[in-house]
Amino acid sequence: MSSTTVTAPQGSRIHQFYQLTKPRVVSLIVFTAIIGMFLAVPGMAPLQPLLAGTAGIALVAGAAAAINCLIEQRIDGVMARTRARPLPRGQLTSMQTLVFASIVGGSGLALLYVWVNPLTMWLTLATFVGYAVIYTVILKPMTPQNIVIGGASGAMPPVLGWAAMTGEVTAEALTLFLIIFAWTPPHFWALALYRREEYAKAGVPMLPVTHGEKFTRLNLLLYTIILVACSVLPFTTKLSGLVYLVSALALGVGFMVYAVRIYRVYSDQLARQTFRYSIMYLTALFAALLIDHYLRVTL
């Protein structure tokens, strides 16, 4: 089907554009960015950079997701989990998607530049390029290490949030970056394991496709160990306290249990459970950072 052919729409046009922004993915991005904002200041975050920063980062993230959908519409049409997106279904055209992404992304960058600070705008633009261009166009179709290298873009949101509040990037912000950077490979490899046949059909060189299931399971375990080690860094650097440490260790044990089970006795169902747990893990870990932060401020 040509990208300029439009079939009968399903749902409103607004909803179709909304789907382009991958709202579930963007919600986690925005959540970690907000946590970065709150952690960057000792008390309550100033309202203007909080609201403008959140909106700007969300808009640019949504635009990056739309560009990803535009570039990968052929691949999305092959894979079961993505074939219902608006572009593969012909509900939106490539030009409509490009215009939408330009308006949304441009608005987000302008918001960040005017109402937050130029550093946050430039870092957010670099993140957009890293995901929409470097990862989507170059890394994903060329190397099985796409997730490892491309994970740098996905790990940027808390750094963006920190910069929005302080106008700088500190070692504490980079610690948050490192956690998400280490989290990304086991998170996506769990998905890639039970979707390996679809990735192979689409011609995407994900690690289970190029190096096999057993090698991927080993790497998932090793990166989970790295992740658990990185998750302790906020405590060792005094960014967080005991409440966070206990939470991080408990969550890390849960992730390790899944990773060891996947390595020893694999099943697609277990990989799905691991993927779902990984999302809960990151959400709970950053929530623990926030709770610990304000407990330390008030005590």
Quick: pLDDT tens for 30-43.
999 999 999 999 98
Q: Which residues contact 196 (CB under 8 A, 6 or more apart)?
A: 206, 208, 209, 213
- State the Cα–Cα distance between residues 156 and 152, nearest whole angstrom: 7
Quick: pLDDT tens for 222-270.
999 999 999 999 999 999 999 999 999 999 999 999 999 999 999 999 9
Residue 143 zone, left/alpha/beta (φ > 0; ψ -120 to 50; rest) = beta
- Two tokens at 123? 């870092």
- State the Cα–Cα distance between residues 7 and 230, nearest whole angstrom: 48
- 182 vs 51, 120, 131, 197, CA distance in Å? 28, 23, 17, 25
Q: Which residues contact 109 (CB under 8 A, 6 or more apart)?
A: 56, 60, 121, 124, 125
Residue 83 zone, left/alpha/beta (φ > 0; ψ -120 to 50; rest) = alpha
pLDDT tier, 11 (very low <50, low <70, confident <90, very high otherwise): low
What average pLDDT does range 86-114 have in this prediction?
Answer: 97
Residue type at position 80 = A
299 has a pLDDT exceeding 80: no
- Two tokens at 158? 């808390």
Quick: pLDDT tens for 76-93.
998 888 989 999 999 999
277 has a pLDDT exceeding 90: yes
202 has a pLDDT exceeding 70: yes
